[in-house]
């Protein structure tokens, strides 16, 4: 792999390049109405797991960044597949399986590719060799990809879709434990399950930011996201249908109340600039 050179004395340029990658990843998530907050959750769980196995702080930050960017290749997946409300058929699943290779191509010439490429390309490989795209097995799979792969699968299991509710945390941890050594790295799975049983992911599952839980559309099931700066009385639209919600203050914080329908076509929600700034600050030391 080759990539364009970058002057080490241009920190603002490097930050701009990192921000561009984060925005690209966020655009993918914004197109998918069923996975809001997925990238943040995977990044946060990867951070917790990396710390638990004693990785250096800089490596933990790098893997968290890679967790946020792991699905960047889905930018090349058609909306008809990415936004399908039901289960994918075999042909559609084959399209989804192209996203690691698309991500690799997107990043191939990027100056920061070395920070995240292994995760982007290999996070669906499995120790038993039945994963994709290369069918790697055991330690031939890069450590960071094995680590993010567990977090990615756990979030998929515990997240709600229109055709099924998210699993309870305990059930998802049980599945990971039983699949250790086959679908998941045995040692990492052991650490992950221990963290989960200790409640380390309770503030992450079902959230889009620290202390900010997801809302759910009563009409079709997709998630309703709110931001750090959201105030009572502001509106949010379901990204999949024309349902409109108003954020209302309750004893437990803000609640998304269904108040009617939008008028006109749906548009992608804007990124949470406050969250993006916080994440950029956390990962900027990787550029030094």
pLDDT at 265: 58
The C-alpha atoms of residue 235 and residue 108 are separated, in whole angstroms, by 40
Residue 8 CB partners (closer than 8 Å, separation 6+): none
Over the stretch 168-210, which tens digit does the pLDDT of each residue have? 999 999 999 999 999 999 999 999 999 999 999 999 999 999 9
Residue 230: name the closest of 254, 259, 260 by CA.
254
Structure tokens at 243: 């349902």
pTM beyond cutoff 0.85: yes
Structure tokens at 225: 């996201």
pLDDT at 4: 44
Average pLDDT, the chain: 91
Over the stretch 84-120, which tens digit does the pLDDT of each residue have? 888 899 999 999 999 999 999 999 989 999 999 999 9
Question: Which pLDDT band, with edges at 50, 70 and 90, does 36 fall under?
Answer: confident
Radius of gyration, alpha carbons of the chain: 19
Over the stretch 273-287, which tens digit does the pLDDT of each residue have? 899 999 999 999 999
Does the pLDDT value for residue 262 go beyond 50?
yes
Residue 34: name the closest of 204, 212, 224 by CA.
224
Kindly state the average pLDDT of the residues 142-163. Answer: 93
Pair 82, 74: CB distance under 8 Å: yes
Structure-model confidence comparison of residues 87 and 240, the more confident one: 87
Residue 186 CB partners (closer than 8 Å, separation 6+): 127, 180
Residue 40: name the closest of 60, 13, 18, 69 by CA.
69
Helix (H) or strand (E) holding 35: none
Residue 237 backbone dihedrals phi, psi, to 5 degrees? -110, 145
Does the pLDDT value for residue 69 go beyond 90?
yes
Helix (H) or strand (E) holding 273: helix 273-283
């Amino acid at each position: 792999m080759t990539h364009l050179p970058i002057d080490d004395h241009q920190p603002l340029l490097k930050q701009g390049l990192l921000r561009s990658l984060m925005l690209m990843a966020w655009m993918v998530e914004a197109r998918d109405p069923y996975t809001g907050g997925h990238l943040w959750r995977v990044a946060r769980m990867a951070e917790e797991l990396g710390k638990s196995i004693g990785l250096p702080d800089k490596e933990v930050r790098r893997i968290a960044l890679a967790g946020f960017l792991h699905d960047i290749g889905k930018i090349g997946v058609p909306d008809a597949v990415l936004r399908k409300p039901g289960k994918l058929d075999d042909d559609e699943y084959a399209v989804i399986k192209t996203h690691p290779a698309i991500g690799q191509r997107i990043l191939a010439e990027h100056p920061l590719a070395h920070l995240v490429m292994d995760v982007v390309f290999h996070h669906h490989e499995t120790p038993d060799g039945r994963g994709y795209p290369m069918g790697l097995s055991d330690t031939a799979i890069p450590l960071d990809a094995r680590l993010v792969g567990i977090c990615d699968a756990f979030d998929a299991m515990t997240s709600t879709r229109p055709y099924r509710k998210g699993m309870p945390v305990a059930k998802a941890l049980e599945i990971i434990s039983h699949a250790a050594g086959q679908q998941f790295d045995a040692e990492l799975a052991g650490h992950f399950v221990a963290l989960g049983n200790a409640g380390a992911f309770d503030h992450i599952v079902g959230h889009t930011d620290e202390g900010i839980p997801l809302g759910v559309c009563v009409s079709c099931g997709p998630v309703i996201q709110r931001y750090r700066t959201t105030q009572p009385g502001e509106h949010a639209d379901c990204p999949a249908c024309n349902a409109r919600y108003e954020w209302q203050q309750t004893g437990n914080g803000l609640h998304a109340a269904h108040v009617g329908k939008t008028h006109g076509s749906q548009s992608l929600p804007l990124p949470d600039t406050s969250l993006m700034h916080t994440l950029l600050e956390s990962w900027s030391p990787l550029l030094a």
